[in-house]
Copies of this chain bind each other. A is one copy, B any other.
Amino acid sequence: MTTQQLIEQIKIKKSFLCVGLDVDLNKIPQSFLTLEDPIFEFNKAIIDATHDLAVAYKPNTAFFEAYGIKGWMSLQKTINYINENYPNIFTIADAKRGDIGNTSSMYAKAFFEDLNFDSITVAPYMGKDSVEPFLAFENKHTIMLALTSNEGAFDFQTLDVDGTELYKRVLETSKTWKNSANLMYVVGATKAEYFTEIRKIVPDSFLLVPGVGAQGGSLSEVCKYGMNANVGLLINSSRGIIYASKEADFAEKARAEALKIQQEMAAILESK
């Protein structure tokens, strides 16, 4: 999917919601556990219930890998289901990969070609040659960690390097890489004021924003400081939506939660 197509979908759906698919078998309706592939069936139900309210889905690879080969089959079925039934959805493999060049190429092949995701999250620590192999794929997007939403973000990401914070240096440096137009960034919602500074460095890039809702971030604050002319934001919610209920009404309740966020987003888009 091209960035332009993503922007169009945001306008059509009046939504920039991304639903995170982090399936923990302990937290889903226990009736699913008797099915052959509970993870896929749960994802399918969530996707069917929310696809018109969300522009993106983000399966978190850890939650699939934890179940070994069965988990990878669930991941493959989930991405195939989205691509076949909802081709206008932007898909994100939340994998946080990154390694030396030839290894990153293998990861890119795995997620962009074999699984056919539109995008993947990557970690910046190993620098340019660990990220550029991902950037080489046309109409695929590489979402690099900049400032994450967890407590540990302040261990290294906000350290002062030559008068600027490390995450800003990461943003600045990444702009010089080959095919950097294919970059997006992960920026946590926990401190909305950071978005002002970030937008000075990457005014046009899409930002994937975790941490709204359950983790304490405010949607309106993030939009106030982070939105650009093309919206430029994908707001992720995982647990708040997919675990809205553990009962038979889980899909209905997930839809209700997604609708609440989508309506808030529609109002924000209208007011701009």
Contact = CB atoms under 8 A, between A and B. Distances in A.
Nearest to A158: B127
B65 A107 contact: yes
Interface string A55-74: 00000101101111101110
A62 B106 contact: yes
Nearest to A121: B99
Contact of A66 (B66, B114, B125, B150): B114
Given A100-B148, A150-B101, A69 B62 contact: no
Q: How many copies does the complex hold?
A: 2
A76 interface: yes
A97 B156 CA distance: 17
Interface in A13-66: 22, 24, 60, 62-63, 65-66
A129 B150 contact: yes
Q: Please indicate which of the listed interface residues A94, A130, A169 has the most CB atoms of chain B within 10 Å of its own CB.
A: A130
A200 to B, nearest CB: 20
Interface stretch (A84-92, A160-168, A225-233, A256-264): A160-168
A258 B104 CA distance: 26
B125 A125 contact: yes
A109 B66 contact: yes
B123 A152 contact: no
Interface of A: 22, 24, 60, 62-63, 65-69, 71-73, 76, 94, 96-104, 106-107, 109-110, 114-115, 123-131, 145, 148-157, 159-162, 166, 169-170, 173
